[in-house]
Structure 1
Amino acid sequence: MADLTRRQFLGGSAAVMALFAGLRTPSVIGAQPRGNGPPILLTNLRLFDGSGAPLRDDVSIRVDAGRIQEILPAQAETGEVERIDCGGRVVMPGLIDAHWHATLAAITQTTAMTADPGYVHLVAAQEAERTLLRGFTTVRDVGGPAFALKRAIDEGIVHGPRIFPAGAMISQTSGHGDFRMRHEIPRGTTTPLSAGELMGVSAIADGEAEVLQRTREQLMLGASQIKLMAGGGVASSYDPLDSTQFSERELRAAVEAADDWGTYATAHVYTPRGIQRAISAGVKSIEHGQLADEDSVRMMADEGTWWSLQPFLQDEDANVYPDAERRESQRQVAEGTLRAYEMAQRFGIKTAWGTDILFSPQNTPSQGRQLAKLTRFYAPLDVLAMATGSNAELLALSGPRNPYPGQLGRLIPGALADLLVVDGDPNASLDFLDDPERNLRLIMKDGRIYKDSL
């Protein structure tokens, strides 16, 4: 890795991944996924189609050429097919995590900022396969150098979910995406970029011109949406939770650049002031927002803004912080989570779900459990609809920048064939998602079977 050129390092998570194109980490999938033969017919099943409607019996699902071709009566004639007997189990769409960090979830922050780029990407490739085997066939990546990983997955070099990449998180100086150390301040006009910027984790920009440039750079690299840091956070070292970041003019510069590219901007923010500023600037999705008040939630409803919420509950899956200040911020966010889900339902907000597991390799296995927690606030089928059909609607805001044209999150004719066969009754509970190795019996993405323990 020491011989990588600066060009490869700067542009080139793709260049780095190319070095490993002929290699594979040990795969629990084993052989290549199957799906190039005759059409597949799934029979003897209960269908959850991703809409939130009750389960349907007495139907079969015909898959061909990577799509759901037909939903058939159970006894219909089908011609030559590969039949898969689901044993009366539930068949549902593949899950969608709308707030994921594909390159950064399974490493610590220290590793992200100090390790060889090749190591970071190899760990991410391994975690991508684990993500798929947890039943997540699609993720919206909202920060980090995921372009190369996406390409490697799409080309079949490694296994993993579909990735909607945002690229680097765009942050002001001292903002939630400023990972520099104190000794790196101040930055002069000729000072090299920081390690986080070189890796593509974040892009620091001040003023409308710099925000516009950094946004356009991510669009050039292939971003399907833009991620802006519009407020403080819990985990960061410098920016207080209650801080408001970027002026409305700066935010609007990024929003307009994304809109010119046919897509949208999303914003990390917690507070009412930051939420309202982001919405006024044209941001289409509020990430987190647990400290929202009724006025800011009403503004979301009036503008049709999405609320991408995560079950931050300060429980056994929460990050552990050594200092009292961050623990207090974490407590405020956890209390706000309870209010947020109540207000989202009361005001009829379009609500998405995601995990936001970041720099926490110990927490990535909890991905499915984080979804199951929402049954504290919603009926189980409504939770599944949020993580399938509803999340797919949010991802579709990327319009012509959508890297996977086609219907996601639904099992209807013409939709992309991403589906799971599960042991469990989602009418009663989603606890089966906490043990995907045992309870996810078949995993299909794009009509190809990556796991089959039926």
Structure 2
Amino acid sequence: MRGHVIDAISTSPIAGAGDTKVIDGRGKTLTPGLVDAHWHATFATLSPEVLMTADPGFIHIVAAREAERTLMRGFTTVRDAGGPAFGLKRAIDTGVCAGPRIYPSGAFISQTSGHGDFRARHEVPRDCCAHLSYAERLGAAALADGVAEVLRASREQLMLGASQIKVMAGGGVSSPHDPIDVTQYTEDEMRAAVECAENWGTYVMVHAYTPRAVQQSIRAGVRCIEHGHLVDDETAAMMAARGVWWSMQTFLDDEDAHPLPTPEGRAKARRVFSGTDQAYLLAKKHGVKLAWGTDVLFDARLADRQGAQLAKLTRWFTTAQALRLATYDNAQLLALSGERNPYPGRLGVVEEGALADLLLVDGDPLADLGVFADPSSKLLVIMKDGELVKDVVSSQRASGT
């Protein structure tokens, strides 16, 4: 490594300056840093009640602490799929705190009554002055109805530094007022967000589960579908034919299922869980461009299991395919941000000239992806942007252990 990039790769010794740091990785495995294509830096660990009532300063301090933990789990890059991450990204990039590279979406854009409308029913309707809800003031959501408002909300996020735009195109699990089956936004409204993003050289990602929501988004020009667990064969074929990315999560009814507080929420979650296996089978059948992310929300315990979620991909893929999803493939998706890419350069690969985001693993991920579920003991070296953020090998060598 030289500076921020991988300078040379060789099976023979490479000559270096006298002060070159050498790490002996014999018997270990070198991989690219992991990429989570659907992460929420602000929402990962705090409960909805805290997020909707706490002082913003507290929320951002907790997010900064969790960003460091994310990096120490081996995730050197995340795509933030909605939330007030601009300040955190700046703090990380300028060395104020440790954390992964962040591709921020800013506030997710939602219609009234949509997946991003977290107002209580007694807050409806808005008054004559259209005062913002707390989620809007925090920068978590942007409620926008009609083409003009969608354009304004999209442009505001791009002005603030979004690398891509996130729009809610259908019902969700964690939102209290929208059934999972509803389609959100009209095609014209969705197309407005797409045109705005394209004018800025980037793309739109949408939250959608159902065939109708996904197909309408694709017709509007959306290039990345988040979730999609309830799509049918026709929709998967449409995604493949249009070259649309499918960013999916390993949502299963298991120990990592979020403990939702209401019967309605749990019913919606079970419906999503029931579609996960079929969704992955359809994606493979039609050759859809796949990405992977965790979408951990509101639970510190589940955030700590970020690497365990990666290991679950072996239910549908070989270990090599799963590791490629979480590195090279995810990096290709992030590169869709084009001129808005905050980190120009190659991510997700161990190649000369690529950005130096690397992990040295005690074990063989191609034999067992479970090594990423135990990052404290299995990740011996973590390098981001050519800087060592963890180096157990050198520490052990210095102490003679």
| TM-score bucket (shorter structure) | over 0.9
Q: Secondary structure of 2:116's match?
A: coil
Alpha-carbon shift at residue 427 of structure 1 (Å): 2.1
Residue 73 of structure 1 pairs with residue 73 of structure 2 = no
Unaligned runs of 5+ in 1: 1-62
Alignment of 1:224-373 (within 5 A): 224-373=163-312
* C-alpha distance in 1 between matches for 2:14 and 2:224: 43
Q: Secondary structure of 1:321's match?
A: coil
Alpha-carbon shift at residue 363 of structure 1 (Å): 1.1
Alpha-carbon shift at residue 74 of structure 1 (Å): 2.9
Residue 64 of structure 1 pairs with residue 2 of structure 2 = yes
Q: RMSD value over aligned CA atoms?
A: 1.0
Could you list the per-position Cα deviations for residues 367-418 of structure 1 after superposition, in whole angstroms to 9, with x for gaps in the alignment?
A: 0000000011101011111100100000000001000111011110111000
Tell me the residue number matched to 1:436.
Answer: 375
* Amino acid across the alignment from 2:253: Q
Q: Given the two structures, how large is their TM-score scaled by the length of structure 2? A: 0.96
Q: Given the two structures, how large is their TM-score scaled by the length of structure 1? A: 0.85
* C-alpha distance in 2 between matches for 1:444 and 1:176: 37
Structure 1 range deviating more: 337-346 or 356-365? 356-365
Alpha-carbon shift at residue 193 of structure 1 (Å): 0.4
Q: Secondary structure of 1:84's match?
A: coil
Could you list the per-position Cα deviations for residues 338-365 of structure 1 after superposition, in whole angstroms to 9, with x for gaps in the alignment?
A: 0011111111111000000122223110
* Amino acid across the alignment from 2:302: N
* C-alpha distance in 2 between matches for 1:105 and 1:255: 27
* C-alpha distance in 1 between matches for 2:16 and 2:91: 35
Alpha-carbon shift at residue 319 of structure 1 (Å): 0.8
Q: Secondary structure of 2:9's match?
A: strand
Could you list the per-position Cα deviations for residues 404-448 of structure 1 after superposition, in whole angstroms to 9, with x for gaps in the alignment?
A: 111011110111000000012122111111110010000000000
Tell me the residue number matched to 1:398.
Answer: 337
* More strand by percentage: 1
1:424 and 1:430 in contact (8 A); partners too: no
1:67 and 1:416 in contact (8 A); partners too: yes
Alpha-carbon shift at residue 293 of structure 1 (Å): 0.2
Residue 166 of structure 1 pairs with residue 105 of structure 2 = yes
* C-alpha distance in 1 between matches for 2:222 and 2:251: 22
Q: Secondary structure of 1:406's match?
A: coil
Matched-pair identity in %: 57
* C-alpha distance in 1 between matches for 2:139 and 2:261: 28
1:108 and 1:361 in contact (8 A); partners too: no
* C-alpha distance in 1 between matches for 2:96 and 2:264: 44
* C-alpha distance in 1 between matches for 2:260 and 2:11: 54
Aligned length: 392
Tell me the residue number matched to 2:396.
Answer: none
Of 116, 121, 132, the match for 2:60: 121
* C-alpha distance in 1 between matches for 2:372 and 2:14: 32
Residue 452 of structure 1 pairs with residue 394 of structure 2 = no
Residue 98 of structure 1 pairs with residue 40 of structure 2 = no
* Amino acid across the alignment from 2:143: I
Alpha-carbon shift at residue 77 of structure 1 (Å): 4.1
Alignment of 1:178-193 (within 5 A): 178-193=117-132
Structure 1 range deviating more: 418-427 or 124-133? 418-427
* C-alpha distance in 2 between matches for 1:361 and 1:189: 39
* C-alpha distance in 2 between matches for 1:243 and 1:431: 37
* C-alpha distance in 1 between matches for 2:105 and 2:128: 27
Could you list the per-position Cα deviations for residues 235-258 of structure 1 after superposition, in whole angstroms to 9, with x for gaps in the alignment?
A: 211000000000000000000000
Could you list the per-position Cα deviations for residues 116-167 of structure 1 after superposition, in whole angstroms to 9, with x for gaps in the alignment?
A: 1110000000000000000000000010000000000000000000000000
Tell me the residue number matched to 1:423.
Answer: 362
Q: Secondary structure of 2:367's match?
A: coil
* Amino acid across the alignment from 2:80: D
